[in-house]
Structure 1
């Protein structure tokens, strides 16, 4: 599958039921762009989950942290609209043993990515909001 924003390849992962409320109704997976990090909901779970570290090593290695991190990145286009969801997803990342703010900083610094959202600016804004 290719990204609808930039036509780069994507990695598709299934979303655990615990995070279903962060997706449009009826969607059970997401495709994460390897270039711009756009997260696109998918109607079906893949037969096998892709490895989010193949997008960037900045994603946590543990899927229990990487999946909520990817969902949070997909919501960064509007902090005002998605603030509560981002907070809950960041809590899940932290509960799985990873630092979501550090992961976001590393994603912003990854020179191989061309994020659709200014991750550095979002990192600073989240630091103030969640501080």
Structure 2
């Protein structure tokens, strides 16, 4: 299956039960587009989380931060609708010792206009939110 937003390929991963609340719908996993970073529910995810650094070197390799970070990026399309979820994910990523705003800067440098949202603008809005 390819991304409905850009036609790119997906990386699928299971979403741990403690992060399910941040995933739209009730699917047990998610898929993120390698080309635009759009997030989609995944009904049949793999059993283990793949190395999400294959999306970009900016994605942390720490298991506790990678999935929340990818979920965060996927929710950035609507700060208003996902404000609580985004705030909770930011806090969780920071607790794992990762600077989410720095990662967004690096993802913006890598993906630029190909990303499903304007990462630079969303980063500025997140700074104001925090």
> 1 CA distance for matches of 2:111 and 2:84?
29
TM-score for the superposition, normalised by structure 2: 0.92
Distance 1:53 1:108 in 2: 15
User: Within the alignment, does 1:71 sit opposite 2:67 as a pair?
Assistant: no
Note closer, same or farther for the CA distance 1:94–1:128 as it changes in structure 2 (3 Å cut).
Answer: same
Most deviating of 30-39 and 110-119: 110-119
Q: Structure 1 regions of 5+ residues with no counterpart?
A: none
Is contact 2:112–2:118 with CA below 8 Å preserved after alignment?
Answer: no
2:92 maps to which residue? 92
What is the deviation of 1:61? 1.1
CA contact (8 A) 2:36 2:111 kept: no
Structure 2: unaligned runs, 5 residues or longer: none
The residue matched to 1:81 in structure 2 has which SS? Answer: coil
After TM superposition, which residue ranges in structure 1, 4 or more long, deviate above 3 angstroms? none
Let me know the Cα RMSD of the aligned residues.
1.5
* Gap change, CA 1:10 and 1:25, over 3 Å in 2: closer
Deviation at 1:63, TM superposition (A): 2.1
Provide the residue aligned with 2:110 in structure 1. 110
Q: Normalized against structure 1, the TM-score is what? A: 0.92
Residue pair 1:11, 1:51 contacting (<8 A) in 2 also: no
Deviation, structure 1 residue 7: 1.3
Residues paired across the two proteins, number: 130
User: Which residue number in structure 1 is paired with residue 61 of structure 2?
Assistant: 61
